[in-house]
Amino acid sequence: MNAHNVTAHADGPRSLENAKEWMKDRLSKRVHPLGLTDPAETIAAIDRLEGLDGEKWARSWVASGKAFVQRGRDAEARGDLKAARDDYYQAYGFFFLGRFPCPNHPDKLESYELELEAYGNFGRLASPPIEAVTVPFKGGTHGDRVRFYLRKPEGASKPPVVIMWGGVDAWKEEMTELSSQLAAAGIASIAVDNVGTGESPIKAKPDGERQFLPVIDWARNNAELDGTRIVLIGRSFGGHWATKLAHLIPDALRGAVNWGGGVHYMFQRDWVEQSRYPDSYLMELVETRSRMLGVSDDEEYAEGFRVLSLLDQGILDRPSAPLLLVNGKDDKQCPIADIYLLLEHGSPKTVRLFPGGHMGFGPHTIPTIVRWIEQRLK
């Protein structure tokens, strides 16, 4: 792989050829968003891509997804539930790619709807199973409920719980690997969409943390969970809200993880401009963030980011629940300066930086997070 070609888009959108090289590079490393799907079929889908526009993009991935749906149905009909589960998961993974990074085109929206259906079929056959739960939500601009996935470790009585969410493009369905590792550690998990993404009922405004409060209340009052032992994980952009909640409701939490999210410098105009086309991102980062914010032009985008600063909101000097800050030391989507800023304010924090870019993906990243959570939940 020619490294120069993979980063040649730095001043503008990628070409189709460059995007294909980037995807194959990520696939070889099994890194988001190419870490879920069958490698051979993924190569075939990449090779037949005719363009990066919504119609051509979705068409290739949906074709692979539908083939795996049929395989899953056939396997389930003959009673091979393990094969059916695996095929439904593959279908979900290809439909996820079909809507990636966000369903900003009718064909990508259709792929997202197929993704939810395939994930539901996977979830009912998963071990332990993944159950969809809905709680009412007041004051929503895009719905009156919050929908999330509950996964409880088998054989555990009143397990502690991790409530987690993703960023701008990895949503509640993309928390599966983490939920599996938590279940293996005897910890229940609730996976919910980040504010302004997926099935979120609101857009990402300064009070976006209110989306998570009814979910936290639900967990605290659920007789099958230990609501006195709760940790939050915000992945990528979602780390912003985990950090904010750690400061707003510290007594309700055993801890929170900010895994690659911004708190102040990320939201400043110079960084907004600088991070339009980071090497770590495939395409449409600004469009995806704008959809999350509910904005329609560059000025609204810059202002929508500016008002999210937790420093300007005046909360960083409050006491907080224990915070773990995790990222890649060379992140171009979220500046490492935000971690140093957090260290200069409020309660002490724990930090782990990994080699590489955004979120520091690697073999030790998730195990490090899970071990810290286990310590907090003892």
If 0-12 CB within 10 Å is exposed, 13-18 middle and 19+ buried, where does residue 234 land? buried
Question: Which of 99, 126, 153 is at the close of a domain?
Answer: 126
- The mean pLDDT value for 257-280 works out to 93
Question: Which of 126, 156, 191 is at the close of a domain?
Answer: 126
pLDDT of residue 10: 54
At 101, phi and psi to the nearest 5? -80, -15
**C-alpha pair distances (Å), 74 with each of 41, 95, 118, 185:** 19, 19, 14, 33
pLDDT of residue 128: 98
Strands 255-259 and 230-235: parallel
pLDDT of residue 275: 86
First to last CA, the chain: 45
**Can you list the alpha helix ranges (DSSP code H) found in 263-336?**
269-274, 285-293, 298-306
For the chain, how many structural domains are there in total? 2
pLDDT of residue 2 exceeding 80, the answer is no
pLDDT of residue 278: 86
How far apart are alpha carbons 245 and 229 in whole angstroms? 15
Question: Which of 74, 101, 126 is at the close of a domain?
Answer: 126
Can you give the CATH number for the domain in which 171 is found? 3.40.50.1820
State pLDDT tens for residues 284-314.
999 999 999 999 999 999 999 999 999 999 9
Q: Clarify whether residues 370 and 240 are in a common domain.
A: yes
Query: Which pTM value belongs to this model?
Result: 0.94
Q: Clarify whether residues 133 and 102 are in a common domain.
A: no
Q: Clarify whether residues 132 and 150 are in a common domain.
A: yes
Q: Clarify whether residues 223 and 138 are in a common domain.
A: yes
**Can you list the alpha helix ranges (DSSP code H) found in 256-350?**
269-274, 285-293, 298-306, 337-343
State pLDDT tens for residues 83-140.
999 999 999 999 999 999 999 999 999 999 999 999 999 999 999 999 999 999 999 9
How far apart are alpha carbons 22 and 297 in whole angstroms? 28
Strands 188-192 and 161-165: parallel
State pLDDT tens for residues 137-187.
999 999 999 999 999 999 999 999 999 999 999 999 999 999 999 999 999
Q: Clarify whether residues 249 and 377 are in a common domain.
A: yes
How far apart are alpha carbons 352 and 241 in whole angstroms? 19
The domain containing residue 231 runs over which residues? 128-378
State pLDDT tens for residues 226-261.
999 999 999 999 999 999 999 999 999 999 999 999
Counting every residue written for the chain, the total comes to 378
Q: Clarify whether residues 319 and 207 are in a common domain.
A: yes
Q: Clarify whether residues 358 and 368 are in a common domain.
A: yes
Average pLDDT, the chain: 95
